[in-house]
Chains A and B, each alone.
Chain A
Amino acid sequence: MGSIWEYANPRKFIATTDKLLPWVSALAVVALAGGLIWGFFFTPEDYRQGATVKIIYLHVPAALMAINAWMMMLVASLIWIVRRHHVSALAARAAAPIGATMTVIALITGAIWGQPMWGTWWEWDPRLTSFLILFLFYLGYMALWAAVEDDDTAADLTSVLCLVGSVFAILSRYAVNFWNQGLHQGASLSLDKQENVADVFYYPLLVSIAGFVLLFVALVFLRTQTEIRARRTRALLARERVS
């Protein structure tokens, strides 16, 4: 077993992820189906919220992954800046649309839940607002990738943007906290609490979070492979045109 940097070799990365991808995808399907079916059909209804509580199985994992996808992009960008491995830059690029989609899922499921519970689709609450800002950051990041023609320049620019954006995203998070008192409940899950949500809801939630994580990993693998192959195709085409 060599060092982790061996996977910076695109060929090695594709070979390894090819082997892993069916397993990760299958596990993701099993965990997602298990978590969601368990959550939707085999848990009791909350005595105050009724059936609407069940959206938690989509909302919380999607919100978690929206933030974690950005963290992953941040790490990948740092690796690109420090060690200049192309796979890392491409993985960051591949993760961005997935993270943006997760943000949208979290916002939409939140709105659907908020309508009957808070009586409004949207409220300028700190958590909701910072998610909207996070979505704008994703949009800007993806737009910059799309706008710059040269691949290495694009990778450099977007990774600096990702670093600066992370700082400002955290700043915005605290700024909106200061700006408006929240309607959103506190964190549903944290490691240092005795009981987070009642156990009947907790275990299916954990399963569906695992499903979302696996889904994210599978999608990142797949999209990174696609990016690598697209770049290889472009290089081959360019070579043919020259000869």
Chain B
Amino acid sequence: MIALLIRDLRLAVRAGGGFGLGLAFFLIVVVLVPFGVGPNSGLLSKIAPGILWVGALLACLLSLDRIFALDWEDGSLDLLATAPLPMEAIVSIKALAHWLTTGLPLVLAAPVFGLLLSLPEAGYQPLLISLLLGTPALSVIGTFGAALTVGLKRGGLLLSLLVLPLYVPTLIFGAEMARRGIEGLETTTPLMMLAGITCGAIALLPFASAAVLRVNLR
């Protein structure tokens, strides 16, 4: 399992593209928003948590089809499937690798990008915590979507259509928590809900992902 994780991480870093691309995309989204809504810092600081969350979500989405696509093309996915590792473990490791290469950099970059959007000072801590808690759920749900569409020729667009509605609850609670933090309100309820969604997704979704991956490899 650890060997697989290290292999995936190494591939992501060395093959280029996937690793930096998500971050670059996140930056571009953050830069484009002020062009769209105007440079008014009052307005920007109000919508900053939402923009950062939506940006992180889209950047996460962008790299999803790489989770299985390359392994599918060169046949290593078939080898993995026949390995003594259960499919659920493979799927979980893939999701973890995706989070480490995409989710974690996004979380770390978010405060810097928050500066660009004049995020209020009180917002940094809740934003960081909510992203840290929420992005694993994004990776796990995304892995399910990637497993669904792995065999398809033009799966990219379909993948977004399938995954985005599944992201709705995570986005709502994550952005709500960041917003409440800025306004100085109680953040416990959205925090708990977000943590619940993440834990539930991590616990249950690998089974669904493994099931659809088995169907696709049949």
CB-CB contacts of A156-175 with B at 8 A, as 1s and 0s?
A: 11001101110010011011
Interface residues on chain B, size class: 20 to 34
Most chain A beta carbons < 10 A, residue from B168, B172, B205, B208: B168
Given contacts A139-B161, A147-B158, A179-B176, is CB(A168)–CB(B166) below 8 Å? yes
Expressed in whole angstroms, the Cα–Cα distance for A157 and B218 within the complex equals 12
Q: Binding site of A, secondary structure by majority: helix, strand, loop or mixed?
A: helix
Q: Are A168 and B155 in contact (CB under 8 A)?
A: no
Question: What are 28 A-B pairs at a CB distance below 8 A?
Answer: A136-B161, A136-B165, A140-B158, A140-B161, A144-B148, A144-B149, A144-B162, A147-B149, A147-B154, A148-B151, A148-B152, A153-B151, A153-B216, A153-B218, A157-B216, A160-B208, A160-B211, A164-B166, A164-B208, A168-B166, A168-B169, A172-B165, A172-B169, A172-B172, A175-B169, A176-B172, A178-B172, A179-B176
Q: Which of A137, A147, A175 contacts B172 (CB 8 A)?
A: A175
Q: Are A171 and B169 in contact (CB under 8 A)?
A: yes
In the complex, chain B residues 89-121 whose Cβ is within 8 Å of any chain A Cβ: none
B193 beta carbon closer than 8 Å to chain A: yes
Given contacts A147-B152, A153-B216, A153-B218, is CB(A163)–CB(B208) below 8 Å? yes
CB-CB contacts of B10-35 with A at 8 A, as 1s and 0s?
A: 00000000000000000000000000
Expressed in whole angstroms, the Cα–Cα distance for A174 and B192 within the complex equals 14
Assuming A157-B148, A174-B169, what are 17 further A-B pairs, CB within 8 angstroms? A143-B158, A143-B162, A147-B152, A156-B212, A157-B215, A160-B208, A160-B211, A161-B148, A161-B162, A164-B208, A165-B166, A168-B165, A168-B168, A172-B169, A176-B172, A179-B172, A179-B176
Q: Are B193 and A175 in contact (CB under 8 A)?
A: yes
Chain A residues with CB under 8 A of B77: none
A133 beta carbon closer than 8 Å to chain B: yes
Q: Are B197 and A171 in contact (CB under 8 A)?
A: yes
Q: Which of A140, A147, A176 contacts B155 (CB 8 A)?
A: A147
Chain B residues with CB under 8 A of A175: 168-169, 172-173, 193
Q: Are A160 and B212 in contact (CB under 8 A)?
A: yes
In the complex, chain B residues 120-160 whose Cβ is within 8 Å of any chain A Cβ: 144, 148-149, 151-152, 154-155, 158
**Smallest distance from the beta carbon of A137 to chain B beta carbons, Å?**
5
CB-CB contacts of B190-210 with A at 8 A, as 1s and 0s?
A: 100100010000000100100
**Smallest distance from the beta carbon of B165 to chain A beta carbons, Å?**
4
Expressed in whole angstroms, the Cα–Cα distance for A163 and B148 within the complex equals 13
Given contacts A153-B218, A157-B215, A160-B211, is CB(A178)–CB(B168) below 8 Å? no
In the complex, chain A residues 103-146 whose Cβ is within 8 Å of any chain B Cβ: 133, 136-137, 139-140, 143-144
Expressed in whole angstroms, the Cα–Cα distance for A144 and B159 within the complex equals 9
**Smallest distance from the beta carbon of B27 to chain A beta carbons, Å?**
27
Q: Nearest chain-B residue to A164 (Cβ)?
A: B208
Q: Nearest chain-B residue to A155 (Cβ)?
A: B215
- Contact residues of B with A, CB < 8 Å? 144, 148-149, 151-152, 154-155, 158, 161-162, 164-166, 168-169, 172-173, 176, 189-190, 193, 197, 205, 208, 211-212, 215-216, 218
Q: Which of A137, A156, A174 contacts B165 (CB 8 A)?
A: A137
Interface residues on chain A, size class: 20 to 34
Q: Are A140 and B162 in contact (CB under 8 A)?
A: yes
Chain B residues with CB under 8 A of A133: 165, 168
**Smallest distance from the beta carbon of A240 to chain B beta carbons, Å?**
27
**Smallest distance from the beta carbon of B176 to chain A beta carbons, Å?**
6
Expressed in whole angstroms, the Cα–Cα distance for A100 and B202 within the complex equals 30
Chain B residues with CB under 8 A of A153: 151, 215-216, 218
Given contacts A133-B168, A136-B165, A144-B148, is CB(A178)–CB(B158) below 8 Å? no
